[in-house]
Structure 1
């Protein structure tokens, strides 16, 4: 009997074909109803039902919102936002910190939901909890500082006072994907809320319950009802409606869809931040600790079953250490435990859907047909689960293959040989993506110099991805086709505000005094310019 069958037997739940038998026992019909109430859909709305990756059976029907529901939710959010913005940052932070504490206390619930809806290993589900908790604490403590008024010199120093202030945009729309349904859906909402906005979040059809659970928990923490609303339904229809009504949009997803979001936002002259696809490289320099590099590569490549925008897909090793590194990498790959469990017994879980399995399989098959060599994996593992794919390492990948520069978004890496740092840099900077990268080297100064020349929004040294992504005080985002804007850090909250200048004159209107000739005023102004230049003012 498999671990999943044991789980099903222990739960005593139905395992019939009509519904997933892996529904966590605590997910009662009453709990589901308490989450679905956060959707503004009508009682007789059409529904969408996701497929649970571990057994390829339906989860639960979720009502679909309509474009009219989206418009109504934005109207309600606009009505609720001023009262929320009138609260002090400290008062808003109290709500976020209560949410933090409830999250830490009940993290097993959301990890169960993430695994049930999306299929990742439990440790990777816990990483979402960790990231959201860190973001909540960071912005609750630092929001007031990030949003503080900034005094500047006025037009007439001493006689004018000028401040730059941050004001909320109004209603922020957040479109988050299925691969990190909790971190990306909630991690962007927290700074937007602390900045004084109302938020409208769009849940992905694969993982709606995770985001609805988070909204219910935030309500328990004290967030008013319409300050954060959730909509669900068909991606294109509901996503377009959201962009058409909000005042700013934060989107995480594919580059192709990101372009559509950007164009639609531009048509309304609203701002947008976009974290898009990546084809992230990892460079192993000649002086690297190969065991450390191999372990770091495996962690960064196969975390979240490779369904991570910042995961490593291309590995570039110096020719002097290539053979030894390859052996170390294959050993690290073979040590990955692939399983479907609701405990911490697996290193790699399932892909999220048949579509993901098909895409990963197609990329590998195309590469092999065109001459690539499979060093490890290279096949689905139906004996473990319906959407499980083996951690895979390929060699001899070239630009004729879809996998070379196209994002695979699965547990697959291609291994390349570089003659020196310049050659490694050339390979790393191929293509148009620029999200994340990594350099392994014992020479930190040399690695830093190389990192600055890689076209990527974040570069990790002696780590695959987690060091940069986990540093919530530093910005995270892409260059090139990998997006616009940053999450985390100061920019991650200030992007949800408008900059407003408030200037006050202590002497009334600035200009020539009544009765003074303009020529005399201009002459005095010119003398002032010369004096300020001499004093090196500005």
Structure 2
């Protein structure tokens, strides 16, 4: 049986990983009615909605469907719990994150199963979520007290004015999380909000809600009061606006189109929002790149989670002098990528999440092929592996009139373009409405970093695909242009969930005429003082 699963199908298709579809444990072994009942016991629901699994295409679970009225009630419960949570010392709040870190690592097999069953990605790609969630929990668990501590600033009049910056929680954060990274983009974004003293009302995607609910259960086990994290489930156009309507701040990850609507609704209420949106990310292979390493990195960049990653690469820009040699290596590695849907390590790429993603990928590839693009490898639906599996695909000869050229595919498809010098490479990389992530490959890391600084994207990785920048959780991560607003990670990633307050204490003399000075004398005194402060370089 193993031999039949591993053999290469006709037309140089990708091999199937051992333990493929139909073998070993299945979705029903992971998502039992008892598990669903336990995870959803606190979710308000006026009706029932279903979730499915891309591994088989079958219905997976019945979930509560929250009404807009129940969303409002969830916010009321969160507000009541938030007051006590905000009064809890920040070190005790941060300690919950550190205990959560340990629980996630200790019980990772449970959540890896859920992520795979709900998204269809491989186990290694699911483990990326565990990695970055642990990193974020550790980082904010240790650094939150420092990020949030009172900061003393030079006052209006040195010595006489004492100014202190305080950080207060926003209140209740409304979070709308996507389906593609259901652990990292749910709890990963909520961790700094909790550390800052906020409550969260989250709407995960219905298809991946069980992963978020598992994370909530672990956070409660780690010591988070249950009322501080409310989860609501339902149709995005119904439940999403209700979340924005009652939130004190909005965290959204999803499409640029929906992000614009969220931003408009938040702006109408004069509340803040952070938005991580779409991308059409570029990977640049310079003429001095190590082509073997670049080809291996490009496989990770383009096909992790079947390309369903906002920071994955969909445009491959290669120096013309090395393009043929690079593509030979990249195509060979892509053809060798093993497809699989088993709940085990071993596969190189898994499934798309569902019919809509499969339809988009198929439309982009078929139209490009019909208009003259060359399929170097891939370009086929693989129902023999799973109902929504599509081969990793490399397109050459893509032109602007093809949808795949500028639209975000969000699937395992990359287009190849050639350039002749650095300026052309930078210009073409920046020639998109998006600006989320980029990748630059060069043996000269100084040269790579110099080019990276010219790219209009929120993160740039030199000699890596995306994980180096994303995993550097002390540094900010987010998008430029149509790829979003705000940042996650680092100081910006937690302070965005707070209100800054300045408390200024004036001592001895008032901010006005004193000691017998009239208005003119006071103005002259301040003028001399201002000149002196500049001469002393007082900031």
- Measured in 1, the distance between the counterparts of 2:164 and 2:88 equals 21
- Tell me the CA shift for residue 508 of structure 1: 6.2
Match in the other structure for 1:475: 476
Matches within 5 A, 1:279-428: 279-428=280-429
- Displacement of 1:516 in angstroms is 4.1
Instruction: Tell whether the 8 Å contact from 1:38 to 1:212 is kept in structure 2 after alignment.
Output: no
Separation (CA, whole Å) in 2 of partners of 1:287 and 1:275:
33
In the TM superposition, what is the alpha-carbon distance from 1:147 to its structure 2 partner? 1.3
Correspondences of 1:7-156 after superposition (within 5 Å): 7=24, 22-25=27-30, 27-41=31-45, 45-156=46-157
Partners of 1:3 and 1:254 in 2: how far apart? 32
* Aligned match of 2:463: 462
1:537 to partner: Cα distance: 2.8
Conserved? CA contact 1:7–1:22, under 8 Å: no
The CA deviation at 1:518 is: 2.1
Q: Report how many aligned residue pairs link the two structures.
A: 522
The alignment partner of 2:482 has SS state of: helix
User: Does the alignment pair 1:4 with 2:21?
Assistant: yes
Contact 2:250–2:273 (8 Å) recurs in 1 = yes
Deviation at 1:515, TM superposition (A): 5.6
SS of the equivalent of 1:343 reads coil
Q: Which residue of 1 aligns with 2:268?
A: 267
Q: 2:104 and 2:417 mapped to 1: Cα distance?
A: 42
Q: Structure 1 stretch 176-185 or stretch 90-99: which is displaced more? A: 90-99
Secondary structure of the 1:502 match is strand
SS in 2 for 1:63: strand
Number of the residue aligned with 1:511: 512
Which structure's relative contact order is higher, taking Cα pairs within 8 Å and 6+ residues apart? 2
* Contiguous gaps of at least 5 residues in structure 1: 9-20
CA pair 356-282 structure 1, distance change in 2 beyond 3 A: same
Please say if residues 20 and 340 of structure 2, whose CA atoms lie closer than 8 Å, have aligned partners that are also in contact.
no
Query: Could you list the runs of 5+ residues in structure 2 that have no partner in the other structure?
Result: 2-18
Contact 1:89 1:144 in 2 (8 A): yes
2: distance between equivalents of 1:52 and 1:410?
Answer: 17
CA contact (8 A) 2:21 2:340 kept: no
For 2:219 and 2:63, how far apart are their aligned partners in 1? 20
- Listed one character per residue, the Cα deviations across residues 57-100 of structure 1 (whole Å, up to 9, x for unaligned) are 00011011011111111111111112111111110011111111
**Cα deviation digits, residues 478-506 of structure 1 (max 9, x gap):** 11000011101110111111111010112
CA distance in 2, matches of 1:277, 1:535: 48
- In the other structure, the counterpart of 1:13 is none
Mapping of residues 203-242 of structure 1, within 5 Å: 203-242=204-243
Q: Secondary structure at the match of 1:6?
A: coil
Q: Distance in 2 between matches of 1:22 and 1:499?
A: 46
Segment drifting more, 505-514 vs 238-247: 505-514
Q: Which runs of 4+ in 1 moved over 4 A?
A: none
Structure 1 residue 199 corresponds to structure 2 residue 200: yes
2:91 aligned counterpart, secondary structure? helix
How many Å apart are 1:7 and its aligned residue? 2.2
Match of 2:16 in 1: none
Task: Give the CA deviation at 1:222.
Answer: 1.2
1:23 Cα deviation from its structure 2 partner: 1.9
Per-residue deviation, residues 313-350 of structure 1 (Å, max 9, x unmatched): 11011011010001011111012111111000111001
Task: Determine the structure 2 residue equivalent to 1:15.
Answer: none
Distance across 2 between alignment mates of 1:361 and 1:7:
30
In structure 2, the partner of 1:17 is none
Contact 1:340 1:385 in 2 (8 A): yes
Structure-2 separation of matches of 1:338 and 1:465: 22
Tell me how far 1:252 sits from its aligned partner.
0.4
User: How many Å separate the matches in 2 of 1:58 and 1:30?
Assistant: 16
The aligned residue for residue 445 of structure 2 is 444
Measured in 1, the distance between the counterparts of 2:508 and 2:324 equals: 76
1:277 aligns with: 278
